[in-house]
């Protein structure tokens, strides 16, 4: 299982009702195709070897005998394959008939899982033909196809790669589905054999149900339902095949197709395990079901092969897909920022804020948050003091944008040059002003922060921090300089998202002058502007030339922090996500930089100012990320060094 991925598939075969031999041949063909594509676990629809819609034919001994013969035929003809297959078969158990999922591998039955919840629908009255799994003793074993096999709704199938469980159709619609218990007892993927009938609006409800169940269980969920070929005497089956991972749809079939379908994807079990480790509610659920019965069955897994993801890897995981969803997400994030700042202002009874405005993205977003907050609180925008502090590296473009934006938004505008103060400071400490080193740069950053803090004291205001999540991760901030404020509104927003937030504000109701300025700010290269401009007055010091592209660092940060992935897996995912954009050597270089800087700069994150959390990733030392400032990066850097670019 490379990088924790398990390749799964849901099959929607062609079916002929009550023709077990034909149905077995279809199953064999699809098992072979799936195995050839590297699928490790394949699930079929409910009762696929007979057809779900046989009705009272399920009471015919000939059909039941032929179903057993069909099962034996499938096992014999696929015994050379490593794939695990889950088939739908009616099985006689202890004198009653049960609607079962039979799990097979290499010609052997690993276990039989009967359906627990039998529907009482007018068109399919399953209780007429089948008994519930609840009627069985926990240790039931039967003889089928010449093999002894356990029969229970409490089976867990374990391999070195993954632990999975099985439920059938109506089970997932129950108040407490069997899959909930199976997940709490260790199942990382749940497979559902279904015969889902179609009617108006049901499909969207089904998708919502499966998404929620996979999310609640922190599990993968693979759903296969009957399709073309089932009886349409009273209902129609659309052939739904759906694969979810923790609430996210990975793959889906074409509905109402007349052809057989094999829907495949890879479920990231390592990611699910990481989610469960940090989710204390899941751990509490595990404790609650520790005494429930469960039988564990050992399975093998196919040998590892070269991993080729069929699921997409989003290069910008912090940024939702465009259009309406992006607008909704931006509005929600902006509202969280505004609500956080509003509470702090109300609590402190403060009606003045001070913001350093550089003409860059971060300070622009912070200013926009202040404006919206003051508007919602009914305060005058003149209580927002925007201070632009030109220094040795300030360009005309950023300087003019800073002034233009403050003026068009109607805030109080102040300009305080830091040049004379820095020259005097360099003289005081004996630093040559022509040496553009870290002292030269940080001296300017700290001078700006001192001005902001002191002016805030003068007017009884709060200094609003502008630094973002990406800068905090890389430590791209001057300690006790731009690193510090009285309340930081951008602290959990990555750089890639800052750009979209500013663009969203530009297109959602600001005046024409502000919009034009915002759009130019978005197009301006990211820079701290601490080094003098070039001979043409353009920005010389570009951040992404020094620390690497922010879209890469935000990608690294997301998977490192959100799921705890190791460098080799992050490198693999980045190589897929940014194929054709960055080569392997480039990704390796900046991933190494990320790991080194992330560890070395933790001391800056250990003393961050307050600020609102807006997403699932945050570096607040008070709740989201607690790490020793002197932790070693050796393990991560060694793995980076060994990457084959």
Q: Note whether 354 and 463 are within 8 A (CB).
A: yes
How many domains are contained in the chain? 2
CATH code of the domain covering residue 597: 3.40.50.620
Is residue 152 within 8 Å of residue 138, measured between CB atoms?
Answer: yes
Known catalytic residue at 169: yes
The CATH number of residue 265's host domain is: 3.60.110.10
Model confidence at 405: pLDDT above 90: yes
46 belongs to the catalytic site: yes
What whole-number distance in Å separates Cα of residue 338 and Cα of residue 369?
6
Residue 562 dihedral angles phi and psi, to the nearest 5°: -75, -35
Angle at CA 520, nearest 5°, toward 515 and 524?
150
**pLDDT digit string, tens, across residues 81-111:** 999 999 999 999 989 999 999 999 999 999 9
| Averaged pLDDT, 549-561 | 96
Residue 315 lies in a domain: no
Mean pLDDT along residues 626-631: 96
Dist. CA 238–CA 199, nearest whole Å: 10
Q: At what angle do helices 324-348 and 495-506 cross, to 10 degrees?
A: 90
**Cα gap 171→293, rounded to integer Å:** 17
Give me the pLDDT at residue 313, please: 95
What torsion do the CA atoms of 296, 300, 305, 307 make, to the nearest 10 degrees?
-10
Comparing C-alpha atoms, which of 548, 55, 12 is closest to residue 262? 12
| For residue 302, pLDDT beyond 70 | no
Which token pair is 363? Answer: 């300070």
Q: What is the pLDDT of residue 325?
A: 85
**Confidence class of residue 121 from pLDDT cuts 50, 70 and 90?**
low
Spatial CA neighbour of 435 closest among 529, 531, 527, 528: 531
pLDDT in tens, 308-359: 899 999 999 999 877 788 889 999 999 999 999 999 999 999 999 999 999 9
With contact defined as beta carbons under 8 Å apart, do 503 and 510 qualify?
no
In this prediction, residue 542 carries a pLDDT of: 76
Res 303 pLDDT > 90: no
Query: Residue with structure tokens 């919602």?
Result: 376
465-478 confidence digits (pLDDT tens): 999 999 999 999 99
CB 109 within 8 Å of CB 147: yes
Q: Which of 7, 115, 495, 604 is catalytic?
A: 115
Q: What is the pLDDT of residues 381-398, one digit of tens each?
A: 999 999 999 999 999 999
**What is the per-residue DSSP string for 489-517?**
SSTT--HHHHHHHHHHHHTTT--HHHHHH
Tell me whether residue 123 is one of the annotated catalytic residues.
no
> Does residue 300 register a pLDDT over 90?
no
Check pLDDT > 90 for residue 531. no
Residue 405 sits in the same domain as residue 497 = yes
Reported as a pLDDT band with limits 50, 70 and 90, residue 546 is confident
Q: Does residue 547 belong to any structural domain of this protein?
A: yes
112: Cβ–Cβ under 8 A, 6 or more apart, which residues?
Answer: 91, 93, 100, 101, 102, 103, 142, 144, 149, 150, 151, 152, 155
Q: Catalytic one among 7, 20, 28, 46?
A: 46
Distance in angstroms (rounded) separating the CA atoms of residues 265 and 573: 15
Task: Determine the pLDDT at residue 415.
Answer: 97
Can you give the three-state secondary structure of 161-192, one letter per residue?
Answer: CCEEEEEEHHHHHCCCCHHHHHHHCCCCEEEE
Residues 441 and 493 in one domain: yes
Q: What is the pLDDT of residue 123?
A: 57
In a domain, 316, yes or no: no
Domain membership flag for residue 318: no
- Assign 580 a pLDDT band (cuts: 50, 70, 90): very high
In a shared domain, residues 475 and 602: yes
Structure tokens at 119: 């529907």
Q: How far apart are CA 154 and CA 294, in angstroms?
A: 5
Same domain, 193 and 112: yes
Do 294 and 328 belong together in one domain? no
Return all residues near 515 (Cβ < 8 A) that are at least 6 apart.
Answer: 506, 507
Of 94 and 290, the structure prediction assigns the larger pLDDT to: 94
State the catalytic residue, choosing from 169, 217, 370, 422.
169
Are 100 and 212 members of one domain? yes
Shared domain for 122 and 161, answered yes or no, is yes
Q: Which residues pair with 226 in a beta bridge?
A: none
Domain boundary among 298, 314, 344: 298
Look up the pTM and report it: 0.90
Q: Which of 282, 298, 314 is the last residue of a domain?
A: 298
* Parent domain of 202: 7-298
Do 283 and 427 belong to one domain?
no
Least confident segment among 123-127, 245-249, 483-487: 123-127
Indicate the residue among 243, 264, 298 that finishes a domain: 298
In terms of pLDDT, which residue wins out, 509 or 490? 490
Q: What is the pLDDT of residues 167-211, one digit of tens each?
A: 999 999 999 999 999 999 999 999 999 998 888 878 999 999 999
| pLDDT at residue 200, rounded to an integer | 82
How much is the pLDDT for 207?
95
Shared-domain flag, residues 289 and 334: no
Domain assignment present for residue 348? The answer is: yes
pLDDT digits (tens, 9 = 90+) for 7-34: 999 999 999 999 999 999 999 999 999 9
Q: What is the pLDDT of residue 122?
A: 53
CB atoms within 10 A of CB 347: 8
With respect to residue 317, please indicate whether it lies within any of the assigned structural domains: no
Indicate the pLDDT class of residue 532, thresholds 50, 70 and 90.
Answer: confident
Q: Which residues pair with 189 in a beta bridge?
A: 164, 220
Q: What is the pLDDT of residues 424-440, one digit of tens each?
A: 999 999 999 999 999 99
533 has pLDDT over 90: no
Asked if residue 611 belongs to a domain, the reply is yes
Q: What is the DSSP string of 91-115?
A: EEETTEEEEEEEEEETTEEEEEEE-
Q: Does the pLDDT value for residue 304 go beyond 80?
A: no
Between 536 and 109, name the one with better pLDDT: 109
- Coil/strand/helix, residue 442: helix
Lowest mean pLDDT among 105-119, 138-152, 271-285, 525-539: 525-539
d(CA 339, CA 251): 37
Regarding predicted confidence, which is higher, 463 or 533? Answer: 463
Pair (138, 276) in one structural domain: yes
Sheet holding 295-298, edge to edge: 248-252, 241-245, 220-225, 189-194, 163-168, 155-158, 295-298
Note whether 38 and 7 are within 8 A (CB). Answer: yes
Q: Which of 597, 600, 578 is nearest to 587 (CA)?
A: 578
Average pLDDT, the chain: 93
Task: Provide the β-strand partners of residue 105.
Answer: 84, 108
373 and 488 in a single domain? The answer is yes
Residue 626: per-residue pLDDT: 93
Return the structure tokens found at 122.
């007018």
Asked if residue 34 and residue 168 are part of one domain, the reply reads yes
* Residue 409: inside a domain: yes
Cβ contacts of 248 within 8 Å, gap of 6 or more: 211
């Amino acid at each position: 299982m490379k990088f924790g991925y398990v390749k799964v598939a849901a099959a929607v075969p062609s079916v002929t009702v009550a023709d077990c031999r034909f149905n077995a041949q279809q199953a064999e063909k699809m098992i072979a195709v799936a195995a050839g594509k590297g699928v490790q676990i394949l699930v079929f629809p409910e009762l696929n070897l007979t057809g779900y819609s046989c009705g009272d034919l399920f009471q015919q001994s000939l059909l039941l005998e032929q179903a057993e013969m069909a099962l034996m035929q499938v096992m014999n003809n696929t015994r050379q394959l490593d794939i695990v297959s889950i088939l739908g078969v009616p099985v006689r158990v202890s004198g009653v008939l049960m609607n079962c999922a039979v799990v097979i591998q290499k010609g052997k039955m690993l276990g039989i899982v009967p359906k627990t919840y039998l529907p009482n629908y007018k068109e399919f009255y399953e209780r007429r033909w089948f008994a519930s799994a609840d009627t069985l003793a926990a240790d039931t074993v039967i003889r089928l196809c010449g093999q002894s096999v356990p029969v229970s709704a409490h089976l867990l199938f374990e391999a070195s790669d993954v632990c999975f469980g099985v439920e059938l159709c109506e089970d997932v619609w129950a108040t407490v589905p069997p899959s909930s218990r199976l997940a709490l007892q260790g199942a990382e993927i749940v497979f559902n054999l279904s015969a889902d009938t179609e009617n108006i609006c049901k499909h969207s409800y089904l998708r919502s149900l499966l998404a929620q169940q996979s999310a609640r269980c922190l599990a993968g969920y693979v759903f296969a339902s009957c399709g073309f070929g089932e009886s349409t005497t009273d209902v129609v089956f659309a052939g739904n095949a759906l694969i979810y991972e923790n609430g996210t749809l990975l793959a889906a079939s074409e509905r109402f197709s007349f052809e057989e379908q094999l829907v495949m994807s890879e479920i990231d079990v390592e990611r699910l395990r990481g989610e469960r480790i940090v989710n204390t509610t899941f751990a509490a659920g595990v404790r609650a079901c520790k005494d429930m019965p469960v039988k564990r069955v050992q399975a093998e897994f196919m040998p590892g092969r070269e991993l080729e993801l069929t699921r997409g890897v989003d290069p910008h995981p912090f940024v939702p897909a465009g259009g309406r969803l992006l607008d909704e997400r931006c509005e929600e994030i902006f509202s969280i920022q505004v609500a956080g700042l509003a509470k702090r202002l109300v609590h402190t009874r403060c009606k003045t804020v001070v913001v350093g405005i550089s003409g860059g993205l971060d300070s622009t977003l912070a200013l926009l948050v202040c404006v919206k907050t003051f508007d919602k609180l009914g305060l005058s925008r003149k209580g927002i003091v925007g201070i632009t502090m030109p220094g040795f590296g300030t360009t005309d473009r950023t300087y003019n944008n800073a002034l233009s934006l403050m003026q068009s938004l109607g805030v109080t505008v102040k300009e305080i040059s830091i040049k004379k103060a820095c020259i005097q400071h360099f003289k005081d400490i004996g630093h040559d002003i022509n040496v553009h080193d870290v002292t030269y740069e940080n001296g300017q950053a700290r001078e700006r922060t001192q001005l902001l803090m002191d002016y805030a004291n003068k007017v009884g205001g709060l200094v609003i921090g502008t630094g973002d999540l990406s800068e905090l991760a890389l430590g791209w901030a001057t300690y006790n300089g731009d690193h510090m404020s009285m309340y930081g509104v951008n602290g959990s927003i990555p750089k890639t998202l800052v750009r979209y937030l500013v663009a969203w504000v530009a297109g959602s109701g600001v005046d024409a002058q502000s919009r034009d300025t915002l759009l130019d700010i978005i197009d301006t290269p990211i820079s701290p502007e601490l080094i003098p401009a070039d001979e043409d007055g353009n920005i010389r010091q570009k951040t992404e030339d020094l620390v690497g592209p922010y879209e890469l660092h935000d990608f690294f940060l997301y998977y490192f922090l959100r799921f705890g992935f190791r460098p080799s897996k992050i490198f693999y995912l980045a190589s897929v996500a940014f194929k054709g954009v960055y080569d392997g050597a480039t990704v390796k270089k900046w991933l190494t930089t990320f790991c080194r800087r992330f560890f070395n700069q933790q001391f800056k994150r250990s003393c961050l100012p307050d600020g609102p959390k807006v997403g699932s990733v945050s570096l607040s030392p008070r709740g989201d990320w607690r790490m020793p400032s002197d932790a070693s990066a050796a393990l991560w850097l060694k793995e980076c060094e060994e990457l084959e670019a």
